[in-house]
Amino acid sequence: MTPGTRDKAGTIDVLVVDDDFMVARVHRTFVERVQPFRVVGVAHTGRQAIEAVGELRPDLVLLDLYLPDLFGLDVIPRLRTAGHDCDVMVISAAQEAGTVRGAVRRGVVDYLLKPFDFEDLRPRLERYAAQRGRLLTTVVRGQADVDRVLAGAIVPAPALTLPKGMSVETAELVERALRATDGTLSATECAAMTGISRVSARRYLEYFHSIGSAEVSLRYGAAGRPERGYSWRA
């Protein structure tokens, strides 16, 4: 990740790139719900994205891959050739292993599959903001400092450091419930298994998802909104 050089009162400027106008609007709304992010522009083609990065100088680009003029991954080297060092987070329906490998080789900071909802994007943005903050403040005095920066760029925050208001005991309860479940576990089911409230169960499940220990899929029933199902990532 590249921390940039401009002082913008701590904000992280984002360019949203998606060929679908409605999808781009939804992504913009999601991003602007997370502090300290702000959307400074929207582009719908690869060439528009390259021009917008030159004009707006965003810190982060949310990049769709299926653009009408360029494949999204081909946009990244063009940005680098033009001297732009913004970070790129891929948001795409592309699940091919070769595409994911290509994204990694081009240095993307994250890769989120469509379709997703706000609770899928939020922890990734928060993780990016935390890592960016570490890069901005890190003073390298030796190899240990370098190792800490690289480790932070590769793996999520360690599970031992729980957010404020969460307990190790409850986290262990939820983890055991996840590990013991074949298939997926909803927040309601987790609450019934562990004896905690549904709200608390959802919070712990989302925490495990945010650090990469749990996967999330959407359950579609006969009627109503889809339900989030969680499974432990082996």
Kind and range of the H or E run holding 98: helix 97-105
What tokens does 160 get?
A: 């031992």
pTM of the entire structure? Answer: 0.61
Do 93 and 27 fall within a single domain?
A: yes
Residue 157 inside a domain? The answer is no
Kindly report the average pLDDT of the chain as a whole number: 85
Give the pLDDT score at 222. 59
Do 122 and 24 fall within a single domain?
A: yes
The tally of domains found in the chain comes to 2
Do 108 and 19 fall within a single domain?
A: yes
Residue 141 inside a domain? The answer is no
Res 152 pLDDT > 70: no
The answer to whether the Cα torsion of 200, 201, 204, 206 is positive or negative is negative
Contacts of 130 (CB under 8 A, 6+ apart): 157
**Phi, psi at 97, each rounded to 5°:** -60, -40
Give the pLDDT score at 10. 83
Res 97 pLDDT > 90: no
Residue 211 inside a domain? The answer is yes
Cis peptide before 156 (omega within 30 of 0): no
CATH value at residue 225: 1.10.10.10
Q: Which amino acid is at 144?
A: A
Give the pLDDT score at 186. 92
Residue 30 inside a domain? The answer is yes
End residue of a domain, out of 77, 112, 131 = 131
CA 171 to chain centroid: 22
Q: Which of 43-57, 132-146, 147-161, 176-190 has the lowest mean pLDDT?
A: 147-161
Do 17 and 112 fall within a single domain?
A: yes
Residue 3 inside a domain? The answer is no
Do 17 and 119 fall within a single domain?
A: yes
Do 105 and 18 fall within a single domain?
A: yes
End residue of a domain, out of 102, 131, 160 = 131
Res 160 pLDDT > 90: no
Express each pLDDT in 107-123 by its tens digit.
899 999 888 889 889 99
Asked whether the beta carbons of 157 and 130 are under 8 A apart, the reply is yes
Q: Which domain holds residue 37?
A: 12-131
Do 118 and 41 fall within a single domain?
A: yes
Q: Which amino acid is at 91?
A: I
- Separation of alpha carbons 185 and 181, rounded Å: 7
Express each pLDDT in 178-206 by its tens digit.
988 888 999 999 999 999 999 999 999 99
